[in-house]
Amino acid sequence: MALVDTGSEINIIPEEISIKASLTSRKLNMNLRGIGGNTTSLVGLSEFTPITMITGQEKEIHLFISKGAVHTILVRPFLAANNVKLEFSHKQGKIFSYSEQDGH
């Protein structure tokens, strides 16, 4: 399960999950400041990380690894690259759709 943040530019995963998943990563030492002024330490970057979409299709993404209690976040470049659409309707509520087309 992941949060979808259409205003962010980097995918984030907690360090605990990256360890459990045995992700290969390179070390980083950066701080990320959020819109509210809070900071989060980024300790690694896992590049070309394989994930499985809800359709069963395999994709690769880059995940920044964060120290501490954060949610997994998927962001705008991920949504665009995978033809994911978010639509909001007063009648239907939030609609999440995913196109199985590769986009290539």
CA distance 65 to 84: 23
Q: Which domains are seen in the chain, by residue range?
A: 3-98 (2.40.70.10)
pLDDT in tens, the chain (104 residues): 677 777 778 888 899 989 999 999 999 999 988 778 888 899 999 999 888 877 777 888 899 999 977 877 777 777 777 777 666 666 655 545 555 555 43
Are the beta carbons of 78 and 26 closer than 8 angstroms?
Answer: no
Please give the pLDDT value at position 6: 72
Which tokens belong to 88?
């909001």
Residues 6+ apart with CB under 8 A from 77: 9
Residues 6+ apart with CB under 8 A from 42: 12, 28, 29, 30, 31, 32, 64, 65, 66, 67
